[in-house]
Amino acid sequence: MQPDGEISLTAGYFGGYLCNTLSVQILPWVEGAFRYSVLDDLTGDGGTLYDRSFDIKLRLIEEGPPWPAVAFGLQDFLGTGIYSGEYFVATKNLIGGDLKLTGGFGWERFAGTNGVSNPLCFNNNRFCTRDPGSDTGGTVNFGEFFSGEELGFFGGVEWKPPVPGLTVKAEYSDDAYQREKDSGSFSQKIPLNFGLEYRSLGGVELGTYYIYGSEIGVRVTLSGSPFRPIAESDNEPPGRPIHPRPLPDARSAEFGEIRDLPSGTPVTILLADSGVVDLAVEDKPDRLRWATATLPPSADYTCPDQAAKAIDAEHGMVDAVSFRHADGTVLCTVALRSAA
């Protein structure tokens, strides 16, 4: 899933097919997409097909330390059916997010090369066959979901090398591309794809791919969020004149602002909602338990003292918590018990 509220516009091209996709993270667990495709000679008559389709993806399980994130998706569920398919997919981040593994299974577009018989198809019921789709689209064919002769499998690996913004990808796809083969406009030699992607700081992502052993593809994605300003505001009133001040106490660089927050006060937020992206708890001399929490780059520079209560509630008997910004600045240290 993208960050909540994120909007992405993607244009991708390979083998005479141009796909433009607008995706929106509607809720933290719901992503929707509208696709407009320009497909040359897909029907084999030399013409160009202009196709519109809609996707939706629902996160069923959020990723945790021992388990992956799991999502369910409907692809082209409100279109002509050219790209239609249903899938379940699991994704797990490893090595601090530098390595990502994905695997799943699906129907129709996600099956056809090396799949298995559809387990829902028995006794010649409705799941054994699938309507090829509508010429005009615009209707949701509920009766076609999870149907077809085969169930296919797909998977991929994504690695971020020590080059800022660069990603290397490889995937296995079970899509048979039967329509494209029948028209003679695309040849699939192997079910493997490989790619390189580069993402700049401005929300622009460029990608190039070697697809199915026969085609080179390119892609560009622009992404942003209406809830995240493009640039810092510069219309604030000017600051006060700078006056020399005495050097700060050496402790401020190590501990930041020091606050006392008695452990008896109630917890007002959960650790999952505190914004903490990294946490380390260590035992210091005199049986003192000290936690160091790191905040994301998007956090401001105010002391999130209530998050200390959430850390204490989650990990139990934490005497003090030091908060660091992503740039390394120590914001504050909160003492929860007298020992600190």
pLDDT in tens, 108-163: 999 988 889 888 887 667 788 887 665 555 677 777 888 888 999 999 999 999 99
pLDDT in tens, 316-339: 789 999 999 988 889 999 999 888
- Alpha-carbon distance of 116 to 106, in angstroms, equals 11
pLDDT of amino acid 245: 57
Whole-model pTM: value is 0.64
What are phi and psi for residue 114, nearest 5 degrees?
-135, 40
pLDDT of amino acid 338: 83
What are phi and psi for residue 174, nearest 5 degrees?
-100, 5
Percent of the chain with pLDDT over 70: 90
DSSP-H helix ranges across the chain? 178-183, 250-255, 305-315
Alpha-carbon distances of 248 from 43, 166, 244, 259, rounded to whole Å:
74, 40, 12, 17
pLDDT of amino acid 237: 73
- Predicted confidence (pLDDT) at residue 192 exceeds the cutoff of 80: yes
- Predicted confidence (pLDDT) at residue 169 exceeds the cutoff of 90: yes
CATH 2.40.160.40 range(s) for the chain read 7-224
pLDDT of amino acid 220: 96
CATH class in words for 7-224: mainly beta
- Predicted confidence (pLDDT) at residue 266 exceeds the cutoff of 90: no
